[in-house]
Amino acid sequence: MIQPGAGPTSSTIALGRVRAIGLDTNAFGSKHLSLERLSDLVRRAKKHGSLEVWIPESVLWEWAEHAAAEHKTAVVALERLRRAGLTTSTLASKTVDKVLEDLRASLDKVGPPLKVLPVDDVARAALRDQIMLQGPAKTRHAKDGSLVKTGAADSAHLRAFCAEGDDDSGLYVVVSQDNDATRAFKSWDIAAPRIFSSVHDAIRTVFEMVPTDDAVQAKCLAFLATQIDDVSLGSLKGDVEEDLYDGQYEGEFANVGAYADIPRHPVGLNAVEVDRTNGFVTGTMFALANVTAEGVTQDTWGDSTVQEWAEIVAAQVTVTCTFDLEDGEPQSVTIDTDEGTTRRPTTEFLSPDDAFNEVLDAMTTLPGLSDLEWLEARDGERRLELKVLGAELTVELSGRPSEDWEIQATYGGRDVTLACRFLNDGYTDREGGFPSHFGLSCDVAGPFGNNPVWAINLLVLANDQWESLQERPDH
């Protein structure tokens, strides 16, 4: 039972005492379990040696309910597609109890230090919170306009953490995107544990990540180049999903997914930090790939379901990834699936300065260039000589960043030229909003020309594939 005033007197808790990471229902960015990411977190905690991963039983119930709803939608969608002659696949129905049973079996396979926390001893207090609108409880409007009290499940999650930590909030941290968590601890008159909005942020802090050196970043990028076509990047969000809804059908889509096609080309890695004690590296990877979104919706007349697609060629794909190191060498990579984003190629800018800065920002994701600035370019300096991956990258500027300009980059005996040129008056961006006066282009074909912002990075990281990449068709 939570005792008022128990635990530290400040919500700013030293992480040196932390012995567990508690997961709320939305810890993985949605109300669904990501077994791959959970397994990675447990593996890291096990290697650390003194950390547990806590999942309240009530969180497991919510994951099961959400998964069962998704499963039911998938069963219905597949049956409609089968009737339309578009697939021969089928999917057996599952009750929510069966889904819960399967989830428990999956967690059993993950094993220690994963720990499912019972909620029997806190269920009465959690229900009391909801009825009396205490802790995380609140009211919301039902469809009929009446007010409904909610929050018993959230209270059970948090009270389970408190019970397992003996009311000492310095012994654990919580991963939750629910703003009610802090309010709940305040209502109970105890100090809140440290709350992180994502598993990635908790890992970076709890595992004492520190900035990595350029050599480790380079090794991770090289390893990515050999693995990226063989790992799942999960379902991607961002521009490609927006394009799906911009199609000919105006209804809601079901079973929406967006996936990076093969081949994929890593073009950068930043925010790289390393846990040298436990041998892990985290970072944000940027890659170019054709990305396809698909979903099921009703046709214009509502008579049948149709499958709709949208594609972005040479899209920028951004995902967070974790590398497992052994003797300083990457051995495996885990992607934070279902949190990746897509961005369509940017070729139109409000000013030439914007285009110039975008290219420089992309270059900062190369090893050794994280602090790259070229302020002198505005004062007439026209040439940069940089060391990247043990070779010289030469960048020569014609013109000034504030007007029409060209950049020629040379690396490994090969070169690429970017050009920023003034466009005709009245040209507008694809949303028809503010005028887009300057266009950015590249002098080679393939993914270079389709996404010129990343052309210099591709020149460096895919130098040995230079000719074959240029020969690839744009679509």
Based on DSSP, count helices (H) and strands (E) in the chain, helices before strands: 13, 21
Give the structural domain span for 102.
Answer: 15-206
pLDDT at 306: 59
**Is position 319 within any domain?**
yes
pLDDT at 418: 94
CB 332 within 8 Å of CB 224 = no
**For the chain, what is the domain count?**
3
Show which of 170, 186, 206 is a domain's final residue: 206
SS3 111: coil
SS3 237: strand
User: Are residues 82 and 201 located together in one domain of the fold?
Assistant: yes
Residue ranges, the chain, pLDDT below 50: 1-13, 249, 255, 427-428, 471-475
Could you read off the pLDDT of 316-334 as tens digits, one per residue? 999 999 998 887 789 999 8
State both tokens at 124.
């009465």
Closest CA to 274 of 223, 318, 220: 220
**Is position 3 within any domain?**
no
**Is position 6 within any domain?**
no
pLDDT at 456: 94
Residues 6+ apart with CB under 8 A from 344: 239, 240, 243, 312, 315, 316
User: Are residues 366 and 409 located together in one domain of the fold?
Assistant: yes
The full DSSP string for 351-400 is: SHHHHHHHHHHHHTTSTT-TT---GGGGGT--EEEEEETTEEEEEEEEE-
User: Are residues 265 and 363 located together in one domain of the fold?
Assistant: no
Q: How far apart are CA 286 and CA 260, in angstroms?
A: 12
**Is position 312 within any domain?**
yes
User: Are residues 250 and 357 located together in one domain of the fold?
Assistant: no
pLDDT at 256: 61
pLDDT at 473: 38
pLDDT at 236: 84
What CATH number should be reported for the domain holding residue 164?
Answer: 3.40.50
User: Are residues 185 and 243 located together in one domain of the fold?
Assistant: no
User: Are residues 338 and 357 located together in one domain of the fold?
Assistant: no
User: Are residues 192 and 218 located together in one domain of the fold?
Assistant: no
Show which of 328, 343, 358 is a domain's final residue: 343
User: Are residues 358 and 328 located together in one domain of the fold?
Assistant: no
Looking at residue 95, its amino acid is T
State both tokens at 119.
């909620």
**Is position 267 within any domain?**
yes
**Is position 385 within any domain?**
yes
**Is position 4 within any domain?**
no
User: Are residues 60 and 155 located together in one domain of the fold?
Assistant: yes
CB 281 within 8 Å of CB 275 = yes
**Is position 289 within any domain?**
yes
pLDDT at 328: 77
Cis bond before residue 263 (omega within 30° of 0) = yes
pLDDT at 469: 62
User: Are residues 180 and 311 located together in one domain of the fold?
Assistant: no
User: Are residues 300 and 180 located together in one domain of the fold?
Assistant: no
pLDDT at 443: 84
The model's pTM is 0.64
User: Are residues 94 and 193 located together in one domain of the fold?
Assistant: yes
Show which of 318, 343, 368 is a domain's final residue: 343
